[in-house]
Amino acid sequence: MAAWNVNGLRACAKRGFLDVLERERLDILGVQEVRATAEQLPPEVREPAKWHTAFVAARRAGYSGVGLYARRPPDAILDSLGSPRFDREGRVQIARFGRLVVANAYFPNGNGKARDNSRVPFKLAFYRRLFEVVQRQRRGGLRVLVMGDFNTAHTEIDLARPKDNRKTSGFLPEERAEFSRWVDAGWIDTFREFEAGGGHYSWWTQRGGARERNVGWRIDYVLASPNLRPFLRGAFIRREILGSDHCPVGVDLEADVFG
């Protein structure tokens, strides 16, 4: 299972998205920053053979949006957090597959139009609202994954230049503290279950050859509820996969996780 901020699904499709979808042998892929309605997507991207798909678009054209590709149809899918200010931006899908719940989320960027961190309060409120929703799923005994672009590097080893970005949204103390609140509540950063070292990133600016030099940020995650730990078999970051300024991140689970 994987998450990928595609930075415009139509553009990513021209750069090999469908090839990646098949080659990676995924059961579920959540995509973020779709930037299109389902009707605007090419038919082969909207409904590829042998995949079940669902998309949520923002009201604002060409902005945000998430999509889900699954080998099996979900038993149920929710695309609302029950708050119009979040729902109008098309940032979340919560799908249930048996006992497994997959929340595919595109967390807001806190920068704001003037790059003055003016959207940080909105971003943190989104975090808290989604937290409430997935915590309820946990309390109900379901196995929950929250995956997508969290737009936050949690610790200093999650970005190449922490000292230069202490006042940058994505690495602000209050953003990192909110991420820590999830971890303190028991949510598992699945990649860190298998890799403790630095130098592993999922996003790179498109300027200055940052990706080639691996000057990046790890802001894309798969978090797992504690009852998923026995099913975890591995986690990955596919830095070699191009097509977006982000790369896919994911987790390998036991096949009986749905039961």
**Tokens for 113?**
């139009």
Task: Give the SS3 label for residue 199.
Answer: coil
Quote the CA–CA distance of 3 and 164 in Å, as a whole number.
27
Nearest 5 degrees, angle CA 227-CA 107-CA 198?
70
Indicate the Cα dihedral angle 116, 58, 82, 76, nearest 10°: -130
What's 169's DSSP letter? Answer: T
Task: Give the SS3 label for residue 70.
Answer: strand
The answer to whether the beta carbons of residues 253 and 1 sit under 8 Å apart is: yes
149 is catalytic: yes
H-helix or E-strand spanning residue 93: strand 92-97
Give CA separation, 31 vs 45, 119, 177, in Å.
12, 22, 25
Nearest to 191 by CA among 165, 161, 156, 158: 158
Catalytic residue among 79, 87, 149, 158: 149
Catalytic center residues? 149
